[in-house]
Chain A
Amino acid sequence: MVSAQKGQVRVLTGNAVGAYGAMVCRPEVIAAYPITPQSEIAEQLAQFKADGTIDAEYVEVEGENSAMNVVLGASAAGARVFTATSSYGLVFMYDALQEASGFRAPVVMVNANRETPGIHAVSSGQQDMISARDTGWVQIIVENDQEILDQIIMAYRLAEDNDILLPVMVNYDGFYLSYLAEAVEIPKIEDVDAFLSPLKKQPARQRLVPGLPIGCGTHGIEMGYVEARYKHCQAMERVKNKVDEIDKAFGDYFGRYYGGQIEEYRTGDADIVIIASGSATGTAKTVVDTKREQGLKVGLIKLRLFRPFPAERLVKILKGKKAVGVIDRSVSFGWKYGPICMELKALTADFGPMPVLSYIDGLANLDITIPHIGRVIDEVDAAARGKPYQEVTWIPME
């Protein structure tokens, strides 16, 4: 494999890019139900089907629960499948999410992050994805439109790998990226075919065959359950290195690298580090650059993989640093820290004692601004120099 040809560059919204990302991977069965801010994906895929651009079964379902169950059934029959959702839609497929991961079905789904039910916020936030944390899915967060497309391609390579066989959720900030038009390079389908071709060289995965009765996930009593859960958790551990390997292979072929589990931005010689995810990391990089010009040794970790949590790589970077600040775009009911910060705190014994500052910001479409991130960096820096600090700060509440 040398390198891919130059693809067509088009200006597309994040949602349209989601549909193009699916299209170039040649899914065989698609089922999706429109929901703000994802609707354009469902519409664009239907248009592809109508135009003959895509050779897939497009199942018009009456809701997200059916969407997930349709793609799950098709995946169990051996098809490459795709679906997309957001917020209430993700909640509505909650049982089916766990069926899919329990089946070890390599479903690829795009989730345009949005706040969740209870408070009818038609606005951005990562609460939907965070609330689906323990459904057994691989969860990846991306930063911009190009990364949406590239990550969908990488998601198939990951999900359908026989060492993994897990459903993958590609998350991007709804509203911010779903409606943001950016220049995006769409790879040629034959190059995507080539990139995904290692999957075809594997033995065919287990699948439903008419006339051959198979028990799928029905034999989960006692040790059958324990064994299935153990294998699932082991596969999750394997995902971490696999994500790094796939990122490297993708970059070598298409020329774009994302860092795999995490992207390290100026962390090497940094004294303090901030951790963020999604579209806000673009802003954060700018602020890090400004602070660097002012002489502050600060770095950024862009968290790409939320499940499995990239513990080993985070520990490696944070060891020896003086303080860390985490910006969460969601909350954890019953833990005062933000969810990503809470996960990081579980690693304190491994990366050593240092101030860990949790920030809740960007809920419900409130921007994570340059001044916000600047203030986070200043406070983390002060904490690193021994000043007293506040453990948790809800920035918009001040």
Chain B
Amino acid sequence: MVIKHKNIFITESAWSNTDKLLLCLDTGSWRTERPVLDKEKCNYCGLCALYCPPQCMKDMGEYYEANLVYCKGCGICATECPRKAITMVSEGGFTDG
């Protein structure tokens, strides 16, 4: 048998160092809507990052932004944002998703 597969895991078991790599979780492809931030409204409170289930909000210094590789588009950040700075927008209008 010819094995063409290049190993994902460096260990025998399916363990990964989450600091360096979140493996196999291409959950961004599940998304139908993405969070779009209005930076004018955002006051960098961090509630979106606290509530985000897959913890994919990136700290950009003055605001938070979803990592779209992992963001499933659940919309919890938009619901929890006290300043309504996040809007969920259909993926249909984007070309990078």
Chain A contact residues, CB within 8 Å of chain B: 102-105, 162, 165, 206, 212-228, 230-231, 235
Contact = CB atoms under 8 A, between A and B. Distances in A.
B60 interface: no
Among A103, A104, A165, A227, the most chain B Cβ lie within 10 Å of the Cβ of: A227
B24 A221 contact: yes
Contacts of A215: 15-18, 22-23
DSSP majority for the B interface? loop
11 contacts: A104-B11, A104-B13, A105-B13, A206-B15, A213-B18, A216-B13, A216-B14, A223-B24, A224-B24, A225-B24, A226-B5
Given A219-B22, A221-B25, A227 B8 contact: yes
A102 B16 CA distance: 14
A214 B12 CA distance: 14
Given A220-B24, A221-B25, A227-B8, A214 B16 contact: yes
B24 A235 contact: no
Interface residues of B, number: 18
Contacts of B8: 219, 223-224, 227
Nearest to B11: A206
A165 B22 contact: no
B95 interface: no
Among B5, B12, B14, B23, the one with the most A-chain Cβ atoms within 10 Å of its Cβ is: B14
Contacts of A162: 12
B15 A217 contact: yes
Given A165-B13, A219-B24, A221-B24, 9 more contacts: A104-B12, A165-B12, A212-B17, A214-B17, A219-B8, A224-B23, A226-B5, A228-B13, A235-B12
Given A215-B23, A219-B25, A224 B14 contact: yes
Contacts of B44: none
B51 interface: no
Contacts of B13: 102-105, 165, 206, 216-217, 228
A220 B16 CA distance: 11
Contacts of B24: 219-225
Interface of B: 5, 7-9, 11-19, 22-26
A231 to B, nearest CB: 6
Contacts, number: 72
A291 to B, nearest CB: 44
B54 to A, nearest CB: 12
A221 B72 CA distance: 15
Given A206-B11, A231-B12, A219 B17 contact: no
Contacts of B16: 214-215, 219
Contact of A216 (B5, B7, B15, B26): B15
Given A165-B12, A224-B9, A214 B23 contact: no
A227 B12 contact: no
A32 B41 CA distance: 57
B18 A227 contact: no
A220 B19 CA distance: 18
B11 to A, nearest CB: 5
Nearest to A231: B12
B3 to A, nearest CB: 8
Contacts of B14: 102, 216-220, 224-225, 227-228
A104 B17 CA distance: 16
A227 B6 CA distance: 9
Contacts of A212: 17, 19
A228 B12 CA distance: 7
Contacts of B25: 219, 221
A228 B24 CA distance: 12
Contact of A227 (B7, B19, B26): B7
Nearest to A215: B16
